[in-house]
Structure 1
Amino acid sequence: RVVLSRSSILYQEYSDVAINREIQRQQGKEPGTEEEGLREEGSDGIPSPSNLSPSSSFRSSRGSAFALWQDIPDVRSSGQLDNFSNEERKLQEAKFELVTSEASYIRSLTIAVDHFMLSPELAECLGAQEKQWLFSKLPEVKDVSERFLQDLEHRLEEDILRFDVCDIVLDHCPSLRRVYLPYVTNQAYQEQTYQRLLHENPRFPGILARLEEDPICQRLPLTSFLILPFQRITRLKMLVENILKRTTPGSRDEDTATKAFNELKKIIKECNSSVQSMKRMEELIHLNKKIHFEGKIFPLISQSRWLVKHGELLEVDTQTMSISGSKLKLPTKPVYLHLFNDCLLLSRRKDTWKFMVFVHAKIGELKVKDLSQKLQGISGFIFHLQLCEGQQLKHQILLKSHTE
C-alpha cells in the first residue's frame, strides 16, 4: 500500500498557516467553509469522484496539505454531510488537520534526511561525530513519524466520514517519546556543531549554501529543518487539545483524547527537563575547567547539581579597619562566589576566566547575618558569612555588596 505520496507543501509553510488558524480560533473565527481552506492553485490530474475509492479519494485530496475534510471527493459525494452538525464538522476537521499536518511534516523530514543529511558532498566535509551531532536521530524521528502517519491514513481509509485519531496518537506515544527525547536533548550539541562548522570548516558554508538554494527545499535554510521535531511535538499536543475540546463530554472519545493529550504533555515535560539537565551539565563541565581548588579536590560535576548564581563581592579586611574622623574605613579585596543548589564556593581570580577556591561548604552549613543596620553610614550592604563543617566553624568572612 503506497502511503508516501505526500503533499508538496512543506511543514514550514504549514506552521505559518497554523499560527493564523490559531489566531482565528482564539478570535472565535473557525475555518469551515470552502473559501477558507487553503489549496494549491493549478492542481490537475485529480480523477472525478465517481472513479475514486476511499483510498484514492483521500490521497488525491492531499495534493493540498490544507484541503478541508469536507472537500474530500468521497465525503462530498457521500450525501452525508448534511447529517453532521456544525460542531461535528469542526471535530472532523480538527482530526483531519492532525493527519494532513503530519503528512506535511514528513515531507519536510524527508528533505532534511535525503537532501541534506545524505548529501555525498556534505558527507565528505563532515566527520562522523560532527554528522551525528548535527543531524542527531533525525532518520529515527522520520521512521517513527512515517509509521504513525501510515496508521492515521489507514484509519481514514477505513471510514472517511467518522474516524478517530486520538487512540492512534496514544498508541504511538511510547515510540514518539523514544525518538523525540534524545533528539531534543541533543539540541545544545546540534547548535554548537552548526555554529562551529560555519566558522571553522571552510568547505561547509559553500556546500550548505548550494544545498539550500536547491528548489527541492524551496530555498529554506537547513536550520528550519533541524528544528522541525521541536515544533512538531508541541504542535501535536495543541492539535489533540483542539480535538479534545470538541469531543462529547463523558464519552469514550473524550477519555481517549484526554489520555493522548496527557501523554503528549508528559513527553514535552520530559523533553524540557532533559534539555535543562543537559544545559546544566554543560555549564558544570565548562566551569570545571575554570575552577581549581586549594588542597582537597572537590568533585564539582554531578547530575544533581546546577549553578544558581555567581558574581564578585568585596571581602572586608577586619584586621585593617580604621576610623577617620567620623567615618569608618573598610579596606576590601575582591572575592568571587559560585552559588550552586547544594553548595557555595568562595574563590579568588587567578586571571580573567580562572578561579582558585579557598573554601567551600554545603548550603545547609552556611550561616548568614545582615550587619547593614549595625554599620550605618556605610554605602552598600554588609553581611557576615560563616561556613561550617558539621558543628565546627570552618571559615568566616565579612562581605560587602552594592545591591541586595
Structure 2
Amino acid sequence: MVEARSPPLAAAPDGDTDPDSDFDSLCMLRRGLRSTSYRRAVVSGIDFSDTPNVKKNSRMSQPNLKAVVEEKEKFSSLGRLKLRKKKSLKGQGTFDREETAVLYQNYKEKALDIDSDEEVESRDRKSDERIVIQYRPLRSSWSQLSAVKRKGLSQAISQEEKKRQEAMFEVISSEHSYLLSLDILIKMFKNSKALSATMTKTESHHLFSNIADVSEASKKFFKELESRHQKNILLEDISDIVEKHAKTSFDPYVKYCTNEVYQQRTLQKLLSTNASFKEVLSGIESNEACRNLPMISFLILPMQRVTRLPLLMDTICQKTSKESPKYETCKQALKEVSKLVRLCNEGARTMERTEMMYTINSQLEFKIKPFPLVSSSRWLLKRGELTAYVEDTGIFSKRTSRQQFYLFLFNDVLIITKKKSEESYNVTDYSLKEHLLVAPYENEEISMSPVRNSTPMLYSRQTSASFLFTLTIRNNYAGEEVEILLGADTLNERARWITALGQSSDRKDTDRTNLTQVEIIRSYTAKQSDELSLQAADVVLVYQKVNDGWYEGERLRDGERGWFPMECAKEITCRATIEKNMERMGRLLGLETNV
C-alpha cells in the first residue's frame, strides 16, 4: 500500500517524542494502558483475527544468530522482478506496493489521536548487516516517506506543520486502504458467479446494493488526492478536494447506508436458511486474497469510512492555524462531510424505523378502540415484557396476582399488550407519552396470591421480576387514570424502562462538562432499540451508571444516546483529554446543527 521502509529490529531511543507537546506532559504518567482519546477514530465494530500491531519502540525476542552477509544485489533484483509484475502508478509511487497493503479493516488512523502529539518520525538508524530479513512496518506516515527524509522536510518545517502534514497524508493513505478493501469486496464476493448462483437477484441486490457506485466515488476521490500528493510531497492543502467530493461525488454513500436494514436482514436470512450460500461464502472468505476476513467486515466499510471523515477533517482543522486562509477552507470541508454523515444516518434510521413500524402494526390486534400507529414521525424507543402486579380485592383481604404485559414504547405513545405468540399481541390499553408518570417502587414486599393457570416455567419467570416501578397513566384510551405496578427482571432493565418512559427534552440541557467520559475498548452491537452500538475507540459521555454493569451514555462523535455494558469501556481520568474531547464534540455537533 504505502511506501514501506525497513528498519532493523533494534529498539528506538526513548527520547523520540514531541518536544513542544506541553499538553501531553499533563497526562503522560497516567496514560499507561488507558486509551484516553479519539485515537483510531471509528474502527470496525467486529473483532477480527488478531493483527500484529507494529509498536515503535518494541523489540522481538530472538535467538543468537551467527552473522551473515546480506547479499544486497541479490535481494534488490528479486524486488525488481516482483515490481515488474505490478502496474506502477506515475509519479512518486507512494501507493504502488499493494502486496503488503493494509486492508481498511485493520487500518488505525494515527492522526486521530488527539491525546498524543508524539513525534511520528523514528530516528534514523544504521542497518544491521547481520540481519537479512528485516521487519517491514504495515504502513508509513508522512515523515517516514523516503522523499521526505531525502529532502529533510521534517526538519525544515515546524512541529505543528508536521502534524498537519501527517493528518492530511492520513486522509490519503486511509482512502487508499479503504479502496483496496472495496476492490476485494467487489471482485471476490459481488462478482463471484458461484456465490450469485446460490441466491436470487433480489437477495444479491439487497446484499451488495450500489457498492460499485461507492467504489467509483472512492476511486475518483483518491485519484485527485494522490495527484495532489504527487505534485508536491509537502502538501499545501486537501480541504478543497474533500469539500468538492462531499458535495458532488458521495451521494452513493447515502443510498448504500439507507439500504443497511435490508442488507443485514438478507445476510442473516441467507446464513441461517441457505446451506449452499453459507458453504460457498466460507470458501471465498478463506481465500488468501480476503486475508481470512468475513464478508460482513467488507460490507460495513462504507458506513465506517463515512463516519471517519469528519473526525479526520477535524484533526486537520486542529493542526491548522486559525489565522490561516486554509482554516476556513478546512472548516467548510468539515461542514460538508458532517452533513454527509447526517444524511447517511438519517437514511439508515428512517428505513429501519419505517420497516419496524409496519411490522409491529401488522402484529397488533385491537380489542379496544383502534389507534392509528403508522406515522412518518413515530419510531420505537423500547419494547419488552414486564410483570404487572394486579390487586385482587376479596371480602376479607387484598391479595396481589401477577400478569404478563408486553409494552411497545414509541417516541409519542405507549401501547400495552398481552402476548399471544411471537408475532401476535392483543392491545389492552394505550396512552400518549405526555400523559405518563413513572417512578421506582421502594416497598419490595408484596402479598402475593397464587398465579392462576400458570406453568412452572412461567411462574419461575414471573417471580424473578423483583425490580419494581410504578407507571401512572393520567389519561388512557378511555380517558381514565390508571396506576400499574410493574416489575423488571434486572436492575438495569428497570432503569432503562424508567429512563425511556420518563424521557423529556429537559435532558438536552444537561451540563456535559461534568459528565464522566469513557473510551470503548471492545466493540458492542446493540441488541435492543434503546442500546447504543459502539466501536473500539469511541468516546462516550455517561449519564447513568447502574450497579449491575450498564451505562447510559451519549456517543461523542454524533450525539446518539443509548445503553451499553460497562465491561466494554474504560473511564477517562486525564482532565486535559476530557476537555479536549468536549472541544471536539462541540465542533462536530455544532456543525451538524448548522448544515
Return the TM-score normalized by structure 1: 0.77
User: Which amino acid counterpart does residue 121 of structure 2 have in structure 1?
Assistant: G
CA contact (8 A) 1:198 1:205 kept: yes
Q: Is the 8 A contact 1:323 1:329 kept in 2?
A: no
- The alignment status of 1:385 with 2:457, answered yes or no, reads no
Change (3 A) 1:257 1:398: closer
Alpha carbons of 1:381 and 1:103: their partners in 2 closer, same or farther (altered >3 Å)? Answer: closer
SS in 1 for 2:377: coil
The counterpart of 1:275, out of the listed 348, 351, 360, is 348
Aligned to 1:124: 197
CA contact (8 A) 2:246 2:337 kept: yes
Give the 3 Å change call, closer, same or farther, for CA 263–24 of structure 1 in structure 2: closer
**How many residues end up aligned between the 2 structures?**
371
Work out which of the residue numbers 320, 328, 350 in structure 1 matches 2:420. 350
Partner of residue 166, structure 1: 239
Q: Structure 1 CA distance, aligned partners of 2:123 and 2:253? A: 35
1:283 counterpart letter in structure 2 = M
Distance in 1 (CA, whole Å) between partners of 2:415 and 2:259 is: 30
Give ranges in structure 1 of 5+ residues lacking alignment. Answer: 44-62
Q: Give the alignment partner of residue 196 of structure 1, picking from 258, 262, 269.
A: 269
1:246 CA displacement? 1.4
1:340 aligns with 2:414: no
- How far the C-alpha of 1:201 sits from its partner, in A, is 1.3
Gaps of 5+ in 2: 1-87, 126-131, 449-467, 489-497, 499-595
One-letter amino acid of the structure 1 residue matched with residue 238 of structure 2: V
1:131 deviates by: 0.8
Superposition map of 1:2-401 within 5 A:
7-8=97-98, 13=103, 16-18=106-108, 21=110, 26-33=115-122, 66-70=139-143, 72=145, 74-76=147-149, 78=151, 82-175=155-248, 177-294=250-367, 297-310=370-383, 311-314=385-388, 316=390, 321-322=393-394, 324=396, 327-330=397-400, 333-351=403-421, 353-364=423-434, 366=435, 385-387=473-475, 394-401=479-486
Query: Do 1:134 and 1:194's aligned partners in 2 also have CA atoms closer than 8 Å?
Result: yes
- For 1:255, the aligned partner's letter is E
Which of structures 1 and 2 has the bigger CA Rg?
1
Write the distance in 1 (CA, Å) between the matches of 2:101 and 2:345.
Answer: 22
Of stretches 380-389 and 80-89 in structure 1, the one that deviates more from structure 2 is: 380-389
Deviation for aligned residue 1:196: 1.4
Give the AA of the match of 1:401.
L
Q: Once the 2 structures are TM-superposed, how far is the Cα of residue 369 of structure 1 from its aligned partner?
A: 9.7
Displacement, 1:286?
Answer: 2.8
Query: In the superposition, relative to structure 1, how do residues 74 and 361 fare at CA in structure 2: closer, same or farther (>3 Å)?
Result: closer
Read off the aligned partner of 1:275 and give its amino acid letter: A
Change (3 A) 1:75 1:385: closer
3-state secondary structure, aligned to 1:289: helix
Per the TM alignment, residue 197 of structure 1 is displaced from its structure 2 partner at its CA by: 1.1
Displacement, 1:287? Answer: 1.6
Question: Aligned partners of 2:349 and 2:476: how far apart in 1?
Answer: 31
1:152: how far off? 0.9
Identity of aligned residues (%): 29
> Which of the pair is proportionally richer in helix?
1
TM-score normalised according to structure 2 size: 0.54
For 2:376 and 2:195, locate their aligned partners in 1 and report how far apart those are by CA, in whole Å: 35
Counterpart Cα distance in 2 of 1:211 and 1:328 = 66
Q: Residues 153 and 64 from structure 1, CA distance in 2 versus in 1: closer, same or farther, beyond 3 angstroms?
A: farther
Deviation at 1:224, TM superposition (A): 1.8
User: Is the 1:315–1:335 contact (alpha carbons within 8 Å) kept by the matching residues of 2?
Assistant: no
Cα displacement (A) at 1:204: 0.9
